[in-house]
Amino acid sequence: MNKEVILTGDRPTGKLHLGHYTGSLKNRVELQNTDKYEMFIMIADQQALTDNARNPEKIRNNLLEVLLDYLSVGIDPSKSNIFIQSQIPELNELTMHYLNLVTVSRLERNPTIKYEIKQRNFQASIPAGFLIYPVSQAADITAFKASIVPVGEDQEPMIEQTRELVRSFNSIYGEILIEPKGIYPKGNAARMPGIDGKSKMSKSLGNAIYLSDDPDTINSKVMNMYTDPNHIRIEDPGNIKNNTVFTYLDIFCKDRIYLEELKENYTRGGLGDIKVKKYLNEVLQSQLEPIRNRRKEYEKDRDYLYEILKEGSNVARNVATYTLKEVRDAIGVNYFNM
């Protein structure tokens, strides 16, 4: 029996941070290592260009950064196909076919797109390619017949739109495409706050700890972390809810017994922020050091990095070409090779 296919991806707009790590990268490595799935991991450069068309160097420069982040957390190119979206032109033709099955008003209703349009302050100047990127994302997913798409919860509207498109396509042209299921991170990892305590760690909010940050940077970010603003003197009782340091410890600390003691102590009063921050710093440093070291090793061999991407893209292209052929046959735009 064929293995179930998993597809995920990231836009190469910057280095990846702890939010990516806990929300998705860790999970991908686990899924990869079960050997139960065929994994495709896509660097979505073309999607990134939909709001960076005037700044293509940014995307180009971040391609290898994202790949390095993947490799350094343990994504293994011999088990997972890592490929570049723009190198699979078949995805664009699929997108064109799917665009006929979606209305402009449906596109405008996508909540993630709505949010991003506001955030980017596009107003009346929304790039058309940006508005339709959920359809191109449907092409990404369906081209590989992916049934499982592990993503952050902000991507749920994209999966929903993909599912609608698949149902619509299959009902018109026959059962060709697979309706994917999104899988989302649970609990704290779903919405890792930034170091400022704001709801979400993100590059654009400037509140991220990057996987590639050096030890001093990590330390100073931890020391500046948002805690309980009312916990002023050490002996004051502190609040561990909405206290970023404790949220991070909940995610990263493996010594649960010690963590419970810290929490009790902090809540009772008598435990200072600095002490807890120092402990969090130790915990993070020990987990990020091996990742950073692996990154440094991989950085030395750019040819090898491009080789990984080239090979992954070749494999991906073969699969997408096959699906596109099925789609063309189903629609009947196959006049010369019936």
Q: Which residues bind ligand TRP (CB under 6 A)?
A: 7-11, 42, 44, 47, 137, 140-141, 149, 151, 155
Q: Measured from the CB of residue 275, what is the shortest distance to ligand TRP in angstroms?
A: 37
Q: How far is the CB of 20 from ligand TRP (least distance, A)?
A: 9
From the number of C-beta atoms within 10 Å of its C-beta (0-12, 13-18, 19+), residue 329 rates as middle
Residue closer to ligand TRP, measured from CB, 67 or 276: 67
Q: Which is nearer to ligand TRP, 69 or 140 (CB)?
A: 140
Q: Nearest to residue 182, comparing CAs of 154, 153, 150, 158?
A: 150
> Which residue's CB is nearer to ligand TRP, number 129 or number 272?
129
DSSP string, 5-63: EEEEEE--SS--BHHHIIIIIHHHHHHHHTT-EEEEEEE-HHHHHTTTTT-HHHHHHHH
The one-character DSSP state at 22 is: I
Through-space distance between the first and last CA atoms of the chain, rounded to whole angstroms: 29
How near is the Cβ of 198 to ligand TRP at its closest, in Å?
19
Closest by CA to 158, choosing from 272, 47, 34, is 47
Nearer to ligand TRP, 11 or 15 (CB): 11
In the bound complex, what is the minimum distance in angstroms from residue 211's beta carbon to ligand TRP?
A: 16
Backbone Cα Rg of the chain: 22
For residues 305 and 64, the answer to whether their CB atoms sit within 8 Å is yes
- CB 194, min distance to ligand TRP, A: 17
Residue 86 CB, nearest distance to ligand TRP (Å)? 12
Nearer to ligand TRP, 42 or 82 (CB): 42
Return the structure tokens found at 70.
Answer: 């993947």
Give me the sheet containing 4-10, strands edge to edge: 80-84, 37-43, 4-10, 148-150, 181-183
From the list 93, 28, 63, the residue with the least C-alpha distance to 313 is 63
In the complex, minimum distance from the CB of residue 7 to ligand TRP, in angstroms, rounded to a whole number: 5
Q: By C-beta, is 130 or 298 nearer to ligand TRP?
A: 130
Cα 241 to Cα 193, 231, 279, 303, distances in angstroms: 12, 12, 18, 47
**In a 10 Å sphere around its CB, with 0-12 CB exposed, 13-18 middle and 19+ buried, how is residue 233 labelled?**
exposed
Residue type, 267: T
**Between 69 and 273, whose beta carbon lies closer to ligand TRP?**
69
For the beta carbon of residue 269, count every other beta carbon within 10 angstroms: 13
Q: Of 207, 200, 162, 196, which Cα lies nearest the Cα of 181?
A: 162
Q: In the complex with ligand TRP, which residue's Cβ is closer, 278 or 317?
A: 317
Min dist CB 137 to ligand TRP, Å, is 4
Instruction: Please report how close the Cβ of residue 334 comes to ligand TRP at its closest, in angstroms.
Output: 27
Instruction: Report the alpha-carbon distance of residue 299 to residue 336 in Å, rounded.
Output: 47
Report whether 20 contacts 202 (CB < 8 A).
Answer: no
Residue 225 identity: M
Nearer to ligand TRP, 44 or 211 (CB): 44
